[in-house]
Amino acid sequence: MLRKVRSHGSVVQRVVMMTPRQCTIAKPQFPPAFSFFNTIVRPPVATMNTPDDGIFTQKRVLRSKVKKDLRSMDPVLRSQQDDAIQNLILEAPWFKSCKRLCAYISCSALREVDTSKVLQNVLQKETAKILYVPRVEDKNCHMRMLNISRIDDLIANSMNILEPAPLDAHGNARQDVMLADEPIDLLLLPGLAFDKTGRRLGRGGGYYDTFLSKYQELARQRNWKQPLLIALSYSVQILEDGVIPLTPSDVFIDALVSPSGFIPITPAAQEIIP
């Protein structure tokens, strides 16, 4: 949702992100320096709660627990796990051969698995890969995946997550993956918790589940091969099977990359193991 907000005397448009049970109005902030290692400055928030049903409460409780575990993770261990996960991806045949992919821009303040090395590799001209990254449009869990060709194409949104502006430096609309003529082969997904049956707990915005179900439908209509859905996970984020509450719109992942290796879940993921 775009809201006009008065900031130091001038009116600026800011994207205000809404989680399903909570409307959060972020105080305007000046964009920080562009960096993968951005930190979140939490603004004071106005909060509006609506009644919950049980399963969403269970999800919320689990999110809080995992966020706490992530915050208490030793930074050295975290950095080692970031390297291990990214090295596994960079060496994987399914990554090397992939031509078009969607990936998230990691936010260290959210304790997300770092994607900076992977993205740097993808954006080298020699790899000739086409990259799409998320941009929250904030209407009905609406997120688009837009094409970028340089890290400098990104600016911080109200949550301090880097994302592309809809227009590039020449004023041309960036390509939206939903309007592309060719399919993506791979999606690298963030998340708070995962299990080895393919369940994924996101941050509660419904952005990824909504996007994934729409993209899967598009691929079905066009007779395209479905993209591999591969989530990146610290060891502490892999929970016992069945512990993650499930709601009807949850989309299952194909595989996990954790510091201890690639964990295939679906037949599609088994097929790509050398």
Ligand X SMILES: Nc1nc2c(c(=O)[nH]1)N(C=O)[C@@H](CNc1ccc(C(=O)N[C@@H](CCC(=O)O)C(=O)O)cc1)CN2
Q: Which residues bind ligand X (CB under 6 A)?
A: 17, 19, 22, 24, 67, 104-107, 110, 112, 134, 136, 143, 159, 161, 190, 202-203, 205, 207-208
User: Measured from the CB atom, is 79 or 97 closer to ligand X?
Assistant: 79
Under the binding rule (CB under 6 A), the answer on residue 132 touching ligand ATP is: no
**CA 35/CA 152 separation, integer angstroms:** 9
- Alpha-carbon span 112 to 67, nearest angstrom: 10
Q: Which helix (H) or strand (E) holds 57?
A: helix 54-71
- Please choose, out of 24-32, 107-115, 164-172, 209-217, the segment that lies near ligand ATP by the rule CB under 6 A: 209-217
Nearest approach, Cβ of residue 110 and ligand X (Å): 6
- Residue 208 or 234: which CB sits closer to ligand ATP? 208
Binder among 27, 209, 226, 268 for ligand ATP (CB under 6 A): 209
- Of the candidates 209, 32, 18, 194, the one whose C-alpha atom is nearest the C-alpha of residue 113 is 194
The nearer residue to ligand X, 24 or 226, going by C-beta atoms, is 24
Residue type at 70 in one-letter notation: L
Residue 170: burial class (beta carbons within 10 Å; 0-12, 13-18, 19+)? exposed
Element containing residue 19 per DSSP (H, E): strand 18-19
Interface pattern 57-86 for ligand ATP (x via CB under 6 A): --x---------------------------
Using CA atoms, how far apart are residues 189 and 50, in angstroms rounded to an integer? Answer: 28
